[in-house]
């Protein structure tokens, strides 16, 4: 456990110090969500109806765009080679890097969500459901995004390509995240069923993301 704890601490320090960009994701999220009401117009009913979806799409874009340096920084300075030579399996390294990245960029986004939900005219139950689904669901976006970050690790300006590759894979997470939120405020539909599927998707993406990203990194070392 000690190597993993050390890695988490290092990643956390790197993302919260100068140039780490921990809060950039949350700021991007804030801007995207703030811009939407200007485009949609002052129709409060419409805003309340599309609010959860807007928050989720904002979180999706903010997460994917903040992931491009996840492995690239380590590759550029040679640290990736050294990480791969450790006794810790690369899959676990990927998981820990994702968790640290989520704690530094995903979590602030979840914390900002209830305030932004007010912009979207969501009522308290809908706000609660949105925050709950984002809290549970955003790690899945990080794990899936890690695959794209690993595939494009050797490319300059691979951030957009990574987003293009990974966005289609994130649709199930988006669908069940938003539908759980909608279900929470629409009377007969159950909240728990889509929510549990969302939880399952997170666990699924953890395993798939770790294995796929680690394999992509091994191939990129060539």
Question: Which of these ranges, 11-19, 32-40, 47-55, 179-187, lies near another protein under the rule CB under 8 A?
Answer: 11-19
Question: Which of these ranges, 86-94, 98-106, 125-133, 191-199, lies near another protein under the rule CB under 8 A?
Answer: 86-94
From residue 190, alpha-carbon distances to 37, 123, 174, 194, 196 in Å are 29, 18, 17, 8, 11
Of the pair 101, 185, the CB lying nearest another protein is at: 101
Distance of closest approach, residue 95 Cβ to another protein, in angstroms:
15
From residue 22, alpha-carbon distances to 11, 60, 107, 110 in Å are 11, 16, 10, 13
Distance CA(204)–CA(188), nearest Å, equals 28
10 contributes a contact to another protein by CB under 8 A = yes
Of the pair 48, 73, the CB lying nearest another protein is at: 73
221 contributes a contact to another protein by CB under 8 A = yes
Distance of closest approach, residue 192 Cβ to another protein, in angstroms:
40
Residue from the set 85, 156, 157, 188 that interacts with another protein by CB under 8 A? 85
Of the pair 84, 175, the CB lying nearest another protein is at: 84
21 contributes a contact to another protein by CB under 8 A = no
18 contributes a contact to another protein by CB under 8 A = yes
User: What DSSP assignment string belongs to 80-137?
Assistant: HHHHHTSSS-HHHHHHHHHHHHIIIIIHHHHHHHHHHHHHTT--HHHHHHHHHHHHHH
Positions that interact with another protein (CB under 8 A): 2-3, 5-7, 9-10, 13-14, 17-20, 77-79, 81-88, 221-222
């Amino acid at each position: 456990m000690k190597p993993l704890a050390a890695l988490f601490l290092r990643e956390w320090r790197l993302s919260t110090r100068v140039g780490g960009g921990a809060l950039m994701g949350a700021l991007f999220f804030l801007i995207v969500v703030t811009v939407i009401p200007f485009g949609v117009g002052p129709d409060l009913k419409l805003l309340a109806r599309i609010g959860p979806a807007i928050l989720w799409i904002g979180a999706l874009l903010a997460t994917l765009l903040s992931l491009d340096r996840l492995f690239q920084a380590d590759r550029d300075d040679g640290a990736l080679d050294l990480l791969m030579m450790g006794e810790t399996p690369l899959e676990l390294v990927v998981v820990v890097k994702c968790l640290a990245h989520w704690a530094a960029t995903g979590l602030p986004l979840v914390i900002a969500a209830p305030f932004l939900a007010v912009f979207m005219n969501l009522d308290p139950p809908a706000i609660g459901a949105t925050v709950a689904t984002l809290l549970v669901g955003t790690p899945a976006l990080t794990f899936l995004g890690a695959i794209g970050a690993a595939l494009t690790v050797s490319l300059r300006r691979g951030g957009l390509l990574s987003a293009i590759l990974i966005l289609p894979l994130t649709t199930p997470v988006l669908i069940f995240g938003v539908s759980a939120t909608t279900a929470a405020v629409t009377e007969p539909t159950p909240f728990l069923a889509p929510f549990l599927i969302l939880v399952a998707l997170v666990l699924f993406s953890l395993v798939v993301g770790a294995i796929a990203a680690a394999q992509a990194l091994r191939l990129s070392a060539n």
